[in-house]
Each structure stands twice: as C-alpha cells, then as structure tokens.
Chains A and B, each alone.
Chain A
Amino acid sequence: MGSGQGKNLKLTLKVWRQESAADSGKFESYDLDNVSTDMSFLEMMDVLNEKLVLEGNNPVEFDHDCREGICGMCSMVINGNAHGPERATTTCQLHMRRFKDGDTITIEPFRAKAFPVVKDLVVDRGAFDRVVQAGGYISINTGNAQDANNIPISKVDADEAFNSATCIGCGACVAACPNASASLFTAAKISQFALLPQGQPERVERALNMVGQMDKEGFGGCTNIGACSRACPKEISLENIARMNSEYLCSTVKTKS
C-alpha cells in the first residue's frame, strides 16, 4: 500500500500497566516483531493484545472508537508526546511508518490530576463533560427555532467559530500542559459561542460558569506556554485562550457593576 514501501519493524514497547485508580502502576516491556509500517498505531496495539491474550496474559486496556481522528476517544502519551510525535494527528491516525526498526516506544496514559487513571492507558475525562455542562450550550428548547437564514452570520465569523468548534475533547491539551490546564478546551467552546450571534444572550454567564467549573475540577492555570495548541490534533489556536480571558474579564466587570 502507500508508495509501496511497506516494511516490517521490530519494536520494544514500554507500556504503563495499572490495575485501577488505587493501584500505583508501573512500566512493562514487550517485544513485538513484524509490525508493518502501514499499520496504524492502534492496530499495532491490537497485535500486541492478541499476542498477550494467547499467552494467557491480560491485554492492555486503551480507549479508542472511531479510528478516524474525530471521536476524541483515543489518548495515550507516546514517547512523551500526547497522541505521539506527529503534528495535528490523533493516536488512531498515527501510522507506524513514523517509527524506525529497533525503536523503543514508551506508552503512557494522559497524566493530570483531573484525569484519574481508570486502568492501564484509560483515564477518566468526565471533568470535560462537567465543564460543558456548566454552560457550553445555547439555551434553546427543541421547536423554538426561527428560519435558519433569519440569522445571517458573516463567513469570516462562521469560519472562525467553526475552527473553535472542531475541538474533539480528547484532552491532549491537558496532557501536554506542564500545569495540566484545561484552558484550550474550555476556551474553544467559549469562543465558538462568543463569535456567533446565537451565543450572545448567555455570553457573560457562560464565561464565568465554564471557567469556574474548570478551576473547580482541579485543572491548573494557563501560563502561556503553548504546548496545548502544539499537541492539539485539531490545531485549535492559542487565540482562543486570549478570547476566553477577555470574555472572562469582561464578564467579571459586567457582573460587578
């Protein structure tokens, strides 16, 4: 397949194994031969797991679902990078052609206080859902809407809102941030609605409540490092965080006056 240069790799995998949140966890090493360079990273993990099962061992638990880079379910820190070494790529879209024969690959879960480990490489990202529940929506009941074209929106704003809305909620931003901050995630949602006319009525409460919830969940603060945006598989830009800060500041002022 591909340019017809498919070949096989011999790899050593250092994988984080942890029974449960209560367990302390440790690395285990596994050797894997005949890994085709055309495989995706998760297909390589499938091969490892089939081998472990046949050897009578427990396979490595990891989250994954669509394998198209859009559901946000897959995670993993690969050789120190959330979603691995390739820019703008989720783990499921990473292919083994990015690795070399004889490589040792270190595979860990996303690490953050607000994302406790469930098992092995699986973490609990429920905190993200709660941030959205605090205000990441427009309050409109089904059946209340006017004709869609009654709300013209400039293409520039619509495109910019779309860019923010492409966030897949995977949590790589948190995993990559030395402070384990959820600012990029929260900012993307606040931005999407701040840019759209539909988002205006709840703009003030949304910023206050979502930022408040983010802090409550135990995420760290933003110190403008930018690791989040570099790790983001959808390349959500840091501008979103600037916009969130401005939204939050304005909202604080407005509610005080």
Chain B
Amino acid sequence: MSVLDSKVPEGDIREKWDNHRFNMKLVNPANRRKYNVIVVGTGLAGGSAAATMAEQGYNVKSFCIQDSPRRAHSIAAQGGINAAKNYPNDGDSIWRLFYDTVKGGDYRSREANVYRLAQVSNNIIDQCVAQGVPFAREYGGLLDNRSFGGAQVSRTFYARGQTGQQLLLGAYSAMSRQINKGTIEMFNRREMLELVMVDGRARGIIVRNLVTGEVEKHSADAVLLCTGGYGNVFYLSTNAMNSNVTAAWRCHKQGAYFANPCYTQIHPTCIPVSGGYQSKLTLMSESLRNDGRVWVPKEKGDKRHPNDIPASERDYYLERIYPSFGNLVPRDVASRNAKLMADAGKGVGETGVAVYLDFKSSIERIGEDAVRAKYGNLFQMYEKITDENPYKQPMRIYPAVHYTMGGLWVDYNLQSSIPGLFVLGEANFSDHGANRLGASALMQGLSDGYFVAPYTVANYIGSNASELGSMDTGHEEFTKASRAATERLDELIAKDGKRTVDDFHRELGHIMWDKCGMARNSEGLTQAISEIQTLRSDFEKDVKVSGSKDYKNAELEKAGRVSDFLELGELMCRDALERAESCGGHFREESQTDENEAKRDDENFCHVSAWENKGDVKDAVLHKEELKFENVKLTQRSYK
C-alpha cells in the first residue's frame, strides 16, 4: 500500500492557489495552437473547459454522447449554484463557504481543493452573468439568493428551478462561439471506449461513432475526462438514462486510481418509486425545503388522507430533531431520517416508502402565487408524474441516488494517476468528501472547467513540451486500443442469451440499493460482492444483445455500459466494506452514535481510499491519501 501525493502547494491555505498559479509553467500564445486537447463530455465541467482552453488558443476536440453538447445531464440541475458573494449581507465569506463544505462533506475532502473552490466561486457568478445567464433578480435589478441545506446563510444563486439548464446553455454558447471560430472541433454522438497510453502518458482516446458504428482514433497532448458520475450503477437514480461510468472505468483499467467509490449521495427529496417498469427517478429540488415542511404521521400505519391528519398528530421530525437547521439539514442527514421513519412503519402513500413534504404553511404565509413563482415548474413536473396536485395536498417524497462523490483520483492539479489524464467535475472525487452540499455540484463543475484545469493543463503541457507535440494515430498503441475496443463490441454483439441488458441492470440495481445504499453493513456487503460476481458471470453467459455493431444500436451501447457497471458495483461494495466507519453518505450500521448519526473513525479512516486496478476487481490494490485538517477542526458534525 503506497501513500499518494496530492501535490498540494506549500503555504497558507489562502495563498496556495495564487502562489501555485504564479509558479506554474505557461505556454507561449503562439505555441498553444501546436497542442491538442481532448475533452470528453460537454456538461458544466467539459463545456466550460473546452470553451476556455479554446479561447486560450489550444486546439480542442470535444466529444459528447448525445446529439448535441447542450444536452449533457448538468442541464437537469434544478436548485442553484453557491458562491461566497455575501450579497444578502448575512455573514457569508470565502472562509465560511470553505468551512461549510468541509464540514458538510464530513471531513473527508481535501482542504486545499475546497478552499480553492470557495475562492473561485465568485468568479463563476460574474462569468455566467456576463454570458447572459438570466439568474433570478430582485425588483431593484440585483441578483437574488436563496438558502440551501447545510448552511445558515443565503448563498445560492438560481434561475427558477432550472439553474443547471441556464448555466449549461451559458457554457454551450461559449463552446458554440469557439466551434464557429474553428478552435473546437465537435464530435457528437460519440462514446469513449478506451484511453490510449503512449510511453506512460494519456495520448488519445478510442470512440465509437454511435450513428455509423465506426470505431475512431483521436490523439492529443492531454485528455480531460468530464464524464460525470456513476449513479446509474443503481439502475434507478436521478441521472439521465445515458449517464454511465464507461469512460472513467476504461481509464481506471488503464491505471487511473478510483477514489472513494462507495461515497454515494442519496438525495432526500425525490418522487418515490411506483412500479417495476420504472426507468428513472425524478428529483424535486432541495430548494423546496426552504418552504416545505417534512413530516410523517405520529402513529404507525396511519392511512388517513394527509389533509385529514391534524397538526397535533403529525411529526415534523426534522424540525423536532434538528431545531437549528430544521428542514435544511444536509442531504445525508435528511435522507437517513426519512429511511428511519419508513423503517419504523410511519412511511406514507400506498407503498409506505415515502414521507410528506408539505407547502401548506408557506402557501398560507406568502400565497399560492408566490409559491408558484418560485417552484412552478417543479410542482408541474410533480403533478405530471404522480397525478396529484401539490398545491392542494403534500408531496410524497423519498430519497434516491443522485450524485457520486467518489470518482477518479486526482491531485491538486486535477491530474489523475496517469500523466496527461485530467478529470473534472463529478467524474473526479476531490471536493465534496463523503457528502456534497446542495448547489455545490454546479459550482465545482464550473470551477474545474473555467478556472482550474485551463491553468493546470497548460502547466502540464508547458512542463512536458519536449515529450509532447504531434502524435500520429497510426502509432501501434492506437491500433492496439482500437482492436481491444472492437473485440469487446464483437464479443457483446455475439451474445445470444435469454435475458435483456436491462434485466441484468435492474438486478444489479437491486443488489446495490439493498446492500450498498443508504445503510450498509459488513454482512450485506460481503453478500453483495458474491452476488455481483455471480451476476457478472451470468451476464457474460446469458445476456442477449440484438442487431449489429455497424449502425446505431442502443442495446449494444447499454450492454457495454452495464458490463462496466457490473465491475464498478463490486468495487463500490469492496470500498464500503473496507471503510468500517460511517461518514456523510456512507453509513455503516456498525458505526453510529447513540442518536443514529454517522460516527466517524478519524484514527483509522481519515484518508482517501484510491483503488488500483489489477485485472479482476477482487485483486484491486488500495492506496491511501492521508487527509490533513489544518484549518477546520475535526469534530462530530452537529446540525442540532
């Protein structure tokens, strides 16, 4: 077991990034056009990185899986984006945003990265406004803020319930400008299947053209992986249907370490599961907890209509247990409490696996129109899916898989353990520790893409200039990687078993949700590992993939992704088993306080677990990065 070097610069945390920026190598503007940068993914991280690097003068090749870069799943983020502007004058500061994020992450993130994130948060808002992003405003014409979980200040900028859409369209427009100038070459409907390594460096990728089926080779001097999270390993999640781990997993197999795979965020406010045919879960933004009150009936099995249950017979349990933060406790705390209520038989709705989120008091206080102005699109979406009117009766909500804090390990420069491979946004692991606070994902994606990677990638290119430069895709490593990708496609397409890809995916999802979901224990995880191994070998024998690889074939695409999820799932369970403590979203039942809160074990687990692939998942080797907390004191989190 080796110890990983995070390459965090020396000095006071407030000066690290500024000093580092000064010390990093630059590339002469005239030389930049000689270098090629590949950006995989066009969400907030990928879109902003591609646009910014192209503005600086690099040749950028950008890849996305959808038919247009505007469709990446960042678009679905609803609630908002944090920044330490302190416009409401309620005591916010860079330091407070840094502190809240480290605490919210249950002290499992890297301090220096989080501080930098808080530092550049304000630049992000400036940049987006300049691009024409229509954030919500007050009547005086200035920007409006709202509150989010895990903070006692209002620091969240928003655009109705469509903040992600507006920010993504901002990055997309910046990209479009560069595509028009010819500095970004855009490749739509491409899926990355392999990372190409030459002399120990990332030098290109192999992609499948999803329309023609052609396997293509693309070379570069640096590869930026911005491919999002892996929540779809659970089958049901709030992720888009095509979100997957394949690009990251292929890099992992080439030597990139996978860090903290077990850190999964289960979001407390989603529309509950209704039937076996269900394909995805829909989030109801955390911002709703500003005006909605969470409750269950005090009595077990109370089947009355919610409107018929008087206030005295309701348990507003978050307000009761956490009087300081109330309904705005962090996501992991809210989710776990909902599960405790359902497990105690107090769940509501037909299935009993839901709790209420009630807007009645807000509607009485500020009126239905004011509630509609804030959350109209969310209420409408809720009604479409459930056929119930949330203005007239409380929403039913339940936690669902939403975000993955784990991801490929990166150092302070966002470089993975493979030189030349940078990982941005949700695909990396670094900023959110064991629990991400609301409105921080958009902040991190844009921070990495607009303000961090453009500097650190330039530094990599500038420092290794003699070894970089033109790379011919005729190189044997490209041929090898392309052959490996093609062989796997042939292998999958030849499978003529009896079960569909979705059928395997659903079964994997059940195992993960039951045994590696909101609560985990040693026995369940051990079982899950063996169940996933069996499922994986069944998949190889019994899956049926129809059609050919030589044209658009969604079944083949899904088969490749599920095949990688089947390996990742096992690694997640191994990681969860090894981490015999509770922290943030990782709740080990064996490690809890008397009040059922997550109990950390700082003596043994104050580290990042980064896994190195050695072929089979069971042989993965653990490397540790010790986490040092020099600025925020390690304490038991309390939101009471």
Contact = CB atoms under 8 A, between A and B. Distances in A.
Interface string B125-159: 11111111011111111110000000000000001
A149 B75 contact: no
Nearest to A47: B277
B211 A118 contact: yes
B177 A72 contact: no
Nearest to A35: B277
A220 interface: no
B131 A140 contact: yes
Interface string B3-47: 000000000000000000000000000000000000000000000
Interface stretch (B161-169, B326-334, B507-515, B611-619): B161-169
Interface centre among A56, A70, A119 (most CB of B within 10 A): A70
Interface string A40-77: 10110011011011101111010111111111110000
Given A46-B279, A89-B384, A119-B551, A66 B131 contact: no
Nearest to A209: B180
B169 A152 contact: no
Q: Range of interface residues on chain B?
A: 35 or more
Nearest to B546: A53
Interface in A187-214: 192-193, 196, 198-199
Given A58-B547, A65-B240, 17 more contacts: A1-B350, A56-B546, A64-B241, A66-B75, A67-B282, A89-B384, A95-B384, A126-B68, A129-B69, A134-B180, A137-B132, A144-B130, A159-B137, A162-B134, A162-B159, A165-B166, A166-B165
Interface residues of A, number: 85
Given A128-B68, A136-B173, A138-B173, A199 B384 contact: no
B388 A153 contact: no
Interface in B590-637: none
Contact of B127 (A73, A126, A145): A145
Given A133-B180, A196-B132, A50 B500 contact: yes
Given A63-B67, A142-B55, A43 B179 contact: no
A132 B142 contact: no
Nearest to A162: B134
Interface centre among B130, B498, B547 (most CB of A within 10 A): B130
A245 B414 CA distance: 47
Contacts of A168: 165
A52 B48 CA distance: 40
A161 interface: yes
B454 interface: yes
Interface in B529-563: 544, 546-547, 551-555
A158 interface: yes
A154 interface: yes
Contact of A93 (B125, B142, B384): B384
Interface centre among A56, A61, A147, A148 (most CB of B within 10 A): A148
B67 A70 contact: no
Given A2-B388, A152-B142, A71 B173 contact: no
Interface of B: 48, 51-52, 55, 66-73, 75-76, 85, 87, 123, 125-132, 134-143, 159-160, 162, 164-166, 169, 172-174, 176-177, 179-180, 186, 188, 211, 240-242, 274-275, 277-280, 282-283, 349-350, 380-381, 384-388, 450-451, 454, 498, 500, 502-503, 544, 546-547, 551-555
A125 interface: yes
Contact of B126 (A73, A148, A166): A148
A142 B127 contact: yes
B286 to A, nearest CB: 15
Contact of A137 (B173, B240, B384): B173
Given A43-B277, A126-B68, A138-B131, A153 B387 contact: no
B141 A153 contact: yes
Nearest to B242: A65
Nearest to B239: A66
B350 A4 contact: yes
Nearest to A146: B126
Contacts of B174: 137, 142
Nearest to A158: B137
Contacts of B72: 71
B640 to A, nearest CB: 34
Given A2-B388, A38-B274, A136-B176, A66 B67 contact: no
